[in-house]
Amino acid sequence: MRSIILLALAAPLFFSSGLAPAQPATPKGPQAAASAPGPGGPGAGARGGMGPRFGRNYTPGWSMMSEAERAEHRKQMAGARTPDECRAVRDEHRKLMEQRAKERGMTHLRGPRHDACGGFRN
């Protein structure tokens, strides 16, 4: 009788062990090297600071831009070598997005949450 009870208790453990999902081969979440660029910017480089940043938290009108326009904006911002060049690209982009917002009947273009050129060391 004792062996039947033990068998009844052990059987579910034995059969359920084969049904449990295996752990994934790679850990969950983003895994990046220490030198990989962070989200929203090209990362640390020869300029010493993080350089210009771009993305929805840095770029006014991000939601009104196509993927091609976003790629071009990234390229222009990444090409800025000084804080003044960065501000010139940023200000020109702001004017373009204000014009686009006006054409779409928007009364106000929200400013960026963070300074896109704040990553330069002066």
Report residue 80 as tokens: 């800025």
10-residue stretch averages of pLDDT, the chain, 122 residues long? 68 59 56 48 49 75 89 90 90 90 85 77 61
The whole model's pTM is what? 0.53
Other Cβ atoms less than 10 A from the Cβ of 22: the count is: 5
pLDDT of the residue at 50: 64
**What DSSP string describes the chain?**
-HHHHHHHHHHHHHHHTTTSPPPPSS-SS----TTS--TTS--S-TTSS-----STTTSTTGGGS-HHHHHHHHHHHHH--SHHHHHHHHHHHHHHHHHHHHHTT-S-PPPPSS-TTTTS--
